[in-house]
Structure formats: C-alpha cells, structure tokens
C-alpha cells in the first residue's frame, strides 16, 4: 500500500498539508484503498481536486473535497450529534483521494 509520505509527495504542490490519514480495515490491518489529506487552507483543496483522475503509483485516483456535515443534523439516521467523528479532514480544508483499479 501507499505510505503517507508518498501521498504527501503526490499532493505537495497543491499547498500546505496538515495531516495524511490512510484508512485501514480494523480487523485485517490492510489499507481500505482510500485516505484523507488535510490541507491548511481551502485553496489547497481546490488545487488538489485538479489531481482527480491523475495516476498515483500506476493507479488512477479519485480526488474529491470532503463533504462537510452540519452539526446537529441527522447523520444517516445515527442520531443527531453532528458528523465530526474524529477521522481525518477536520477543520478547514479536508480533502481525500480514493485509489481505483
């Protein structure tokens, strides 16, 4: 699987990166095939979306801005406590990539 350093290198021209989080299956420990990249500002997120459908390690990747949840709204029927769940992309300028192929 990809390392956070490889992802950071792929997205470094977009802007300042706060954090890279690669999501893994909690039972097997294997990567799920997608990651969150938290940028320090909105412009970096816009720049990162330009890399949508680009090649990363010979695979075409999907880059989309993280959907922001409205606090207090019902999040897929799981109760009304808001959607900030402590994963990657908190605060301003979250974005993520998903490998395909």
Note the pLDDT tens digit of each residue in 7-23. 999 999 999 999 999 99
Greater confidence (9 vs 101) lies with: 9
Dump pLDDT digits (tens) for 46-100.
Answer: 999 999 999 999 999 999 998 776 665 554 554 444 444 444 444 445 566 666 5
Q: How many CB atoms lie within 10 A of CB 17?
A: 19
C-beta of residue 1 within 8 angstroms of C-beta of residue 38:
no
- CA-CA distances (angstroms) from residue 45 to 12, 96, 97? 11, 9, 11
68 secondary structure, DSSP code = P
pTM over 0.85: no
């Amino acid at each position: 699987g990809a390392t956070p350093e490889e992802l950071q290198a792929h997205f470094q021209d977009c802007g300042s990166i706060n954090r890279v989080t690669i999501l893994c299956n909690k039972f097997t420990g294997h990567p799920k095939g997608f990651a969150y990249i938290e940028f320090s500002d909105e412009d970096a997120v816009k720049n990162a979306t330009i890399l949508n459908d680009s090649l990363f390690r010979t695979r075409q990747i999907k880059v989309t801005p993280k959907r922001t949840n409205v606090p207090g709204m019902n999040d897929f029927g799981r109760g009304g406590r808001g959607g900030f769940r402590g994963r990657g992309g908190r605060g301003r300028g979250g974005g993520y990539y998903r490998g395909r192929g």
